[in-house]
Amino acid sequence: MLLVFCTADHGGLADYAHAQCEALAMSGYAVLLLAPCGFPFRSDLYQRITLAGPKKKHLHSRPLQQFVTAITILRYQWALNAALTSTGARQVLFTTYSEYLAPLWAWNLRRWARSGVRFAAVVHDPVRNFVVGPRWWHRFSIGQGYSFLDVAFVHAPIQLDTVSPQPQLHTQLIPHGPYRYPQSNSSAPELRHRLGVPHEATVLLSFGHLRDNKNLDLILQALTQLPKAWLLVAGPDASAGQRPAAHYRQLAEHLGVAQRCRWLIGYQSAQQVADHFTACDAVLLCYSGQFRSASGVMHLAAHYLKPVIASAGASALLDAVGTFGLGVVVQPDHVDALVAGIRRLLSDPPLADWQAYGQANSWHRNAQLVAQALGLSE
């Protein structure tokens, strides 16, 4: 049996965990998923155990919020330990790598590793530049987070910064499969009418958590030079320490583009996702130069056959856009480059090879490589 450990209860990481578990199960492996109570999927293909944690609610005190988060992390680790004990599983897959509080829990997983349990993690964000606490603690935690892993799965070739040598660890490149979402029940003109967007306007979509590295402030600045462009922002505020939607709405007012912005802040249902991608002309993936990962939103754009404006550091995202002609790549963190890229996409869009992209990024291949790396076929 493969234990899959997922701490996400919504968004792209939860989507990824569900799709990967189903692909592994369809490949013939017994899968037991440990996931939070709010995990949005049920499946007949794999088993699931609910990770007990506090009910989510907005806490005005940041120290209290951090305390609750810390307790939740440790409770989840206790539940993983209990599952290892009760099931006798010899392979564990973390659906995402995390270093948070690793010095307090990694020692126990190293003990399991010494007993023969194999651990792997999907490293969605290989550059760990979001610092929590003192820098020395952050760096120490990164090393601890890798210390028990046998395999780190990545979506683009990269030399991982493991802080300290990890001779037991090897890196495996795997594809990021597509997300399956419904088609909209409405046409693009109908959806735009509901949003109060003129028929002749160009609709640009910024989707997902409102994180600072998505450069939404630069996008708003770019709108001042693109008078026919309208912006649809759909997704929840990110975690503490990231600028909230209110900040960007105030900036839009200050720049004089607020009338051309539509804000749908909060978690989006599958049907809402379908509506947003149907209504838009292009998807904005304008990450900062420090972003070095794949993007789940890219796979949604591919599902709905929507071209993208992409910026980032060297990453799986830029590789995919360039290889399959899925849109226009622009210099990161640069307003003028963003404006020029949007104009280029609208005037001379590339010929996207969506079919080849889908074939190269399958969940079946993802599951095959994960199984081989963890020795599930042995």
pLDDT tens sequence across 131-154: 888 999 999 999 999 999 999 999
CATH classification for the domain delimited by 188-359, as one of 3.40.50.300, 3.40.50.2000, 3.30.70.1400, 3.40.800.10: 3.40.50.2000
Choose between 318 and 238: higher pLDDT.
318
- Class of domain 2-177+362-374 (CATH, top level): alpha beta
Cα angle 322-361-349, degrees, rounded to a multiple of 5: 35
Q: Which pLDDT value is given to residue 59? A: 58
Cα angle 157-162-163, degrees, rounded to a multiple of 5: 140
Work out the average pLDDT over 235-250. Answer: 88
Query: Residue 329 phi/psi, 5° resolution?
Result: -95, 130
Q: Which of 52-61, 151-160, 246-255 has the highest mean pLDDT?
A: 246-255
Confidence of residue 290 (pLDDT cuts 50, 70, 90): confident
3 state SS for 125-142: CCCCCCCCCCHHHHHHHH
What are the tens digits of pLDDT across the range 27-76?
Answer: 999 999 999 999 999 999 999 999 986 665 555 677 888 888 899 999 99
Calculate the average pLDDT of the chain: 93
Work out the average pLDDT over 246-255. Answer: 97
- CA distances in angstroms from 288 to 100, 211, 218, 246, listed in the order given: 23, 11, 10, 21
CB–CB of 140/163 below 8 Å? yes
Confidence of residue 291 (pLDDT cuts 50, 70, 90): confident
Work out the average pLDDT over 265-279. Answer: 94
Q: Which pLDDT value is given to residue 55? A: 60
Cα angle 223-228-229, degrees, rounded to a multiple of 5: 45
Q: Where in the chain is the domain with CATH 3.40.50.2000?
A: 2-177+362-374, 188-359
Q: Which pLDDT value is given to residue 295? A: 83
